[in-house]
Structure 1
Amino acid sequence: MRKMVLLVSHPLLAEQKQEAQRVWQVKSFVALPEQLQNVWSQITPEGSFPMDPFRSLLNWLEKETEPQDLVWVQGEPGALFLVVSWCFQYERIPVYATTRREHQSTMLPDGTVRNQHTFKHVTFRVYPRGDEIEFFPT
């Protein structure tokens, strides 16, 4: 039974759930426990990357997932790099959601402009592996 672990800061949309089930054969969705969700969602921007809290998150991922489970990873760049690297090393499938952005500007009577951005889910995409690319071909 394939799982999808949610390492994101927002809830799963119905269309994302449907795609995961239909395309990726995901049977269950697993959210982070509250304490680890706080680690994921509130990474301090000061100083060096806070590795200690992430050790518990990676330990939890190790226990909660099996090879070929999906891990939906979106967030702070350092955390994202760490988890995606871990996924490749331990045969989990790191994915991210692509979106289409629609923008609408409305001129208000007082002369100000209201911008509205709507994001629509398009698909889940597997993160590319850097070790599969020849960056400087000879």
Structure 2
Amino acid sequence: MMKMLLLFSHILTQDQKVDAIKKLNIDEFIYLPEELQNIWSNINPYGELEIDKLNKIKEFIKKNIDKGDYILIQGDFGAVYHMVNFAKKEGFVPVYSTTKRAHKESTLDDNTVESIKLFKHVCFRRYV
């Protein structure tokens, strides 16, 4: 039974779920509890990275997945770097979701320009 712990600020799309199940043999998806999700989704952009807060997330990870299980890690660049190193050291498999991006722009009746960015999941890629 393979697990994927979700260390990012969104909910998995159906395409991501299907891809993880088919290509990574994921049987269980684990979201962070609300308190830890709040920490991850609101990394303080000022000063040094608050490692003590990330340590709470690390403890949750160690209790909920096993070596060889996947962690989807996306977010603040410094926090991602720190957690990818942690994941590799502990024997977890850190991955991220690649996307195909499209941009649509249109002029509205009042001459304002509406810009829409579309992201479509392509695959999960290991951090190397």
After TM superposition, the score normalised by the length of structure 2 is 0.97
Shift of residue 52, structure 1, vs aligned partner: 1.1
Report matched runs for 1:77-92 at 5 Å.
Answer: 77-92=77-92
Identity of aligned residues (%): 38
Tell me the SS of whatever aligns to 1:99: strand
AA paired with 1:118?
L
Give structure 2 stretches of 5+ with no counterpart.
none
- Once residues 86 and 51 of structure 1 are traced to their aligned partners in structure 2, the CA distance between those partners, rounded to angstroms, is 12
* 1:71 Cα deviation from its structure 2 partner: 0.1
For residue 89 of structure 1, what is the amino acid of its counterpart?
K
Q: TM-score, normalised by structure 1?
A: 0.90
- Structure 1 window deviating more from structure 2 (79-88 vs 105-114): it is 105-114
Runs of 4+ in 1 over 6 A off after TM superposition: none
CA displacement at 1:109 relative to structure 2: 2.1
Q: Aligned Cα RMSD in Å?
A: 0.8
Q: Which residue of 2 aligns with 1:39?
A: 39
Residue 95 of structure 1: aligned partner: 95
Alignment length (residue pairs): 128
User: Mind listing any 5+ residue stretches in structure 1 that lack a counterpart?
Assistant: 129-138
**Residue type of the partner of 2:14?**
A
- Between the aligned partners of 2:36 and 2:69, the Cα distance in structure 1 is 19
Whole-angstrom distance in 2 between the partners of 1:104 and 1:119: 11
SS at match of 1:10: coil
Larger Rg: 1
1:1-138 aligned within 5 A: 1-128=1-128
Partner of 1:110, secondary structure, is coil
